[in-house]
Amino acid sequence: MRIGAFELQEPLPELRDPHVFAMIRPWVDVGSVGTLTLNRLERYLGSRELGRLHRPGEFFDFTRYRPSMRLVDNERRVRIPNSIIRYATTENGPDYLFFHLREPHANSETYTDSILQVVETFNVKRYCRLGAMYDAVPHTRPLLVTGSLGSVSQIRPVSNLKLRGSTYQGPTTIMNLVSDGIERMEIEAINFMVHLPQYVQLDEDFNGTARMIEVLSSVYAEIPADLAPTRRGQRQYRELNSAVERNSDLQNLIKQMEDYYDSNEAEAAATDDDGAPVDAVALSPEIEQFLSELGEEFGERGN
């Protein structure tokens, strides 16, 4: 069955109050955090493929998203990059849709409209976008997660989660047309972004993935916190310490990031004798300049 540009398998499943988990490559999927998170959720919930773009070449430049060659039963097969939708059902609902999306290079409005048509077809109740961005944060501190919950309540609090509305203005991705459409359709929308150390840049960041699942488990009772690959992520970051010990420039960089991180945490938590917030200790002008330059370089990636 064709819905917009997507070819969906028939018969279409009857989903109960479905929630969408969406990730977008490569815009906000650094460290493959969004991909890894969806993959773990899909395995846990027992997902099945629902559909994919009928002709992905109408939207993607295959010199930028490269096809891959695979051997299947000793025969060469070409695997074409695509945007794929999977689904999972639960006993008591809600059911789930998983959107593995790529940024388009052409016909973008048709592409985003097609995503919204799928959302409308299944009468989606909530749209949750997951991602990660590089930021001026040290690997020696708990990873920061920012996001928005709207009117959605948490089951339990989680540390280092900063909920706030975006005030960003400037260049962005065409995929925000999906977010605009979700808002017009009055669908509940939430989002989470893990902030990763920009000097690490792992292909698969399991520490970031663990943080994302930890945050999701604070909102979704169906997602257990122990689904997070915590030990694997901690091991990854511990292995960085030996490289840091051999690089004095990197040690200095991390120290500056730690000062900034700790200063922000202190500013958020500190109060005077009357319970009013007090300013954190000011950073040196050198550190302020350093962080300002990093912010200009990486700040746009989360918008």
What is residue 292's predicted lDDT score, i.e. its pLDDT?
A: 55
Please name the residue ranges forming H helices in 18-174: 33-45, 108-121
Residue 67 lies in a domain: yes
CA dist., res. 69 & res. 71, Å (int):
7
Residue 7 lies in a domain: yes
The tokens describing 232, both together, are 């694997």
What is the average per-residue pLDDT within 152-172?
A: 87
CA dist., res. 119 & res. 18, Å (int):
9
What is the average per-residue pLDDT within 73-77?
A: 89
Residue 169's pLDDT band (cuts 50, 70, 90): confident
CATH code of the domain covering residue 90: 3.40.50.10900
CA dist., res. 31 & res. 201, Å (int):
6
Residue 31 lies in a domain: yes
Residue 301 lies in a domain: no
Residue 104 lies in a domain: yes
Residue 248 lies in a domain: no
For the chain, percent of residues with pLDDT exceeding 70: 87
Would you say residue 284 has pLDDT above 60? Answer: no
What is the average per-residue pLDDT within 75-82?
A: 94
Domain of 118? 2-234
Model pTM score? 0.86
What is residue 283's predicted lDDT score, i.e. its pLDDT?
A: 46
What is residue 246's predicted lDDT score, i.e. its pLDDT?
A: 83
Residue 33 lies in a domain: yes
pLDDT higher at 241 or 162 = 162
The phi and psi torsions of 94 (rounded to 5 degrees) equal -75, 160
The answer to whether 192 and 212 are in contact (CB under 8 A) is yes
Would you say residue 274 has pLDDT above 90? Answer: no
Tell how far CA 27 is from the center of its chain: 9
Residue 253 lies in a domain: no
What is residue 199's predicted lDDT score, i.e. its pLDDT?
A: 87
What is the average per-residue pLDDT within 160-164?
A: 89
Number of compact structural domains in the chain: 1
Residue 280's pLDDT band (cuts 50, 70, 90): very low
